[in-house]
Amino acid sequence: MPNRERSIRVEAVVLRHMDWGEADRLLWLFTRELGKVRVVAKGVRKLHSRKAGHLEPFTRTGLLLARGREMMIVTQAEAVDTFPLLRDDLLRMGYASYVIELLDRFTYEEGQNIALYRLLADTLSRICTETDTSQVVRYYEVRLLDLLGFRPQLIHCVKCGNEIKPEAQYFSAAQGGVLCPSCGPNTPGARSISMQALKFLRHYQRSSYTEAKRAHPTTAHYREMELLIQHYLTYLLERGLNTPEFLRRQKMDLPDDEQSPESPPTDHSG
């Protein structure tokens, strides 16, 4: 009797892969239909594999998955978007690596999350096409925190509950939000945040991307938001993220004539 659940058609972004056995590869996918899953692609390391090019990391791809005994097996793959603009631009590639790493580290095989899939796919497209990639990435971080259930409180003081007034404030990762100037200094680990940076973060929190784009933070405000969000993300993950360090080094390297000899941000070859 045919089992109707034997195969499933999904759309996915390939997060990372690892060589497996003689010619196979394990893939970690974030799918629209099943959320994060680990699958096996058989024979893709053979010279003339037709599937291989459709299963590279950062590729958005349509797949047919068959249920194997332990893992699902890729039986068909057809790239939807390979994001070719990423491949020629080290900085954009660095941002894409960061976006994928962040999602990978915050998610488990816990089932479908369509909003998260859309955010990931849209963000990768935006990294390819938008001029202001800082905006794309900061917006992604704020929305990601929302969708993962870590939305920081930015409207009321997390300690006394008073509404935040238009002045410099504090932020506590441990308390998950902003603190007023009375509560902030007495809270261990709280760090200062300017009213402007806070306004931009609130704007991202409540806006669609089209609306979010209307804001034009200065480089200093981007930097302040970046550091604050990194601080919060690091607290949440309880360990440092590697990719932002890479991006910082790339930015510092940019004015030089010499191309950085460093290897790509994430080793996907396993």
Tokens 């030089």 found at: 256
Pairing of strands 169-172, 191-193: antiparallel
Q: How far apart are the first and last CA of the chain?
A: 39
Pairing of strands 24-31, 60-67: unpaired
Q: Count the residues of the shown chain that bind Zn ion, applying the rule CB under 5 A.
A: 5
Collapsed DSSP state (helix, strand, coil) of residue 226:
helix
> 15: closest CA among 34, 38, 33, 43?
38
* Residue 168 binds Zn ion, judged by CB under 5 A: no
| Nearest-approach distance from CB 180 to Zn ion, in angstroms | 3
Q: Do strands 24-31 and 7-20 pair parallel, antiparallel, or not at all (unpaired)?
A: antiparallel
With beta carbons less than 8 A apart as the criterion, state whether 147 and 115 touch.
yes
Pick 90 or 180: Cβ nearer Zn ion: 180
Amino acid code (one letter) for 252: M
Segment contacting Zn ion by CB under 5 A, of 11-19, 46-54, 128-136, 180-188: 180-188
CB of 190 to Zn ion, least distance (A): 11
Q: Which two tokens stand for residue 239?
A: 């360990």
The residue within the footprint of Zn ion, chosen from 13, 63, 100, 180 (CB under 5 A), is 180
In this structure, what are the phi and psi dihedrals at residue 248, rounded to the nearest 5 degrees? Answer: -60, -40
Measured from the CB atom, is 174 or 237 closer to Zn ion? 174
Minimal distance, residue 187 CB to Zn ion, in Å: 9
Euclidean distance between CA atoms 80 and 57, whole angstroms: 13
> Could you tell me if 112 and 34 are in contact, meaning their C-beta atoms sit under 8 angstroms apart?
yes
Q: Output the smallest distance, CB 178 to Zn ion, in A.
A: 9
Q: How far is the CB of 192 from Zn ion (least distance, A)?
A: 14
Residues within window 147-166 making contact with Zn ion, judged by CB under 5 A: 157, 159-160
Any bridge partners for residue 29, and if so which?
14, 37
Q: Which stretch binds Zn ion (CB under 5 A): 3-11, 28-36, 122-130, 172-180?
A: 172-180
Q: Which is nearer to Zn ion, 127 or 178 (CB)?
A: 178
Instruction: Please pick, from the candidates 183, 201, 212, 228, the single residue that binds Zn ion as defined by CB under 5 A.
Output: 183
Would you say 128 or 173 has its CB closer to Zn ion? 173
Whose Cβ is closer to Zn ion: residue 18's or residue 160's?
160
Rule CB under 5 A: which residues touch Zn ion? 157, 159-160, 180, 183
